[in-house]
């Protein structure tokens, strides 16, 4: 098991965002986390990736206790994430954005702007990632000039540039067209296979994407795990679909 969460609880004052969540991510899995707004999905990802410290419970990554160690330390261990809101330096080019991620992985952060232009290793690694995500022909464009779908790709590509063993994606297809959603998913799955990413975890609202790509689905509601099942099994539970998705089984 690559990642394991044990009895996670997270309180904001008296509000319980996570209430005893336990889960595991196995080698080779694509796992989707679903649930209505306020179910605890983003809080769970933030705890798993070290952004938030749980009130209680533990997170283990590659057999190490890692809860609360911070996202940077986790990235060095091999866990990376992308964000629901595209976290891109708007005035850097595509190449510069990817080079920044590579330099962070190489632990040369203090030299980011001073030596980026002279860092051939970072340039070559960034170009490889750009080619992997179909962004090589736009590597000279400013990030803010990209179409929304390409901004999402750049966000995911930046996480891949960290060379993670597991990647967590927060709404990787939000805000883009249906056609772009499928294209983004196909690119990131192909990229993951090519570079040897061992597992993918995503938070996603689009059920076509969830059922089309997931090996397993974890459904949250009011901070609790209501289901942890294969897509076919979840589809068959009409009551659960009504509760966590808000649509009847026949609408999926």
Q: Delimit the domains of the chain by residue range.
A: 3-251
CA angle 64, 196, 46 (to 5 degrees): 45
Q: Which two tokens stand for residue 57?
A: 């419970």
Least confident of 23-27, 36-40, 67-71: 67-71
Q: Using CA of residue 87, residue 88, residue 89, residue 90, what is the dihedral sign?
A: negative
Which of 8-12, 87-91, 147-151 is most confident? Answer: 8-12
Tokens (6 digits) for 171: 């709404």
| pTM confidence score | 0.87
Percent of the chain with pLDDT over 70: 90
- pLDDT at residue 69 above 50? yes
User: Mean pLDDT lowest for which of 70-74, 124-128, 247-251?
Assistant: 247-251
CATH 3.40.1350.10 corresponds to the domain 3-251:
no
Long-range Cβ contact pairs of 15-18 (< 8 A, separation 24 or more): 16/223, 17/43, 17/223, 18/43, 18/44, 18/47, 18/54, 18/57, 18/223
pLDDT in tens, 209-221: 999 999 999 999 9
| Cα distances (angstroms) measured from residue 240 to each of 143, 202, 231 | 40, 20, 12
Provide the mean pLDDT of the chain.
87
Q: Check pLDDT > 50 for residue 250.
A: no
pLDDT(249) > 70:
no
Dist CA 88 CA 199 (whole Å): 24
Lowest-confidence region among 73-87, 148-162, 182-196: 73-87
The CA-CA-CA angle for residues 249, 26, 104, to 5°, reads: 110
CA 167 to CA 129: how far, in whole Å? Answer: 15
Lowest mean pLDDT among 10-14, 232-236, 247-251: 247-251
Q: Quote the pLDDT of residue 119.
A: 77
């Amino acid at each position: 098991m690559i990642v394991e969460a044990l009895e996670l609880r997270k309180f904001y004052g008296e509000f319980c965002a996570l209430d005893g969540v336990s889960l595991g991510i196995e080698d080779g899995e694509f796992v989707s986390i679903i649930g209505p707004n306020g179910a605890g999905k983003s809080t769970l990802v933030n705890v798993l990736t070290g952004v938030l410290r749980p009130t209680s419970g533990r997170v283990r990554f590659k057999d190490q206790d890692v809860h609360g160690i911070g996202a940077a330390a986790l990235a060095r261990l091999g866990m990376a994430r992308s964000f629901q809101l595209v976290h891109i330096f708007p005035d850097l080019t595509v190449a510069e954005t990817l080079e920044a991620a590579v330099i962070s992985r190489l632990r040369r952060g203090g030299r980011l702007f001073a030596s980026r232009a002279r860092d051939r290793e970072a340039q070559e690694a960034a170009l490889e990632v750009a080619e992997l995500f179909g962004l090589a022909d736009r590597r000279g464009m400013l990030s803010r000039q990209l179409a929304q779908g390409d901004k999402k790709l750049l966000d995911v590509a930046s996480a891949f540039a960290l060379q993670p063993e597991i990647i967590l994606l927060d709404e990787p297809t939000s805000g883009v067209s249906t056609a772009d959603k499928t294209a983004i998913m196909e690119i990131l799955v192909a990229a993951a296979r090519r570079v040897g990413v061992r597992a993918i975890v995503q938070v996603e609202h689009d059920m076509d994407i969830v059922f089309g790509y997931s090996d397993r689905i974890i459904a949250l509601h009011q901070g609790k795990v209501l289901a942890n099942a294969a897509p076919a099994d979840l589809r068959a539970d009409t009551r659960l679909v009504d509760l966590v998705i808000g649509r009847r089984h026949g609408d999926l």
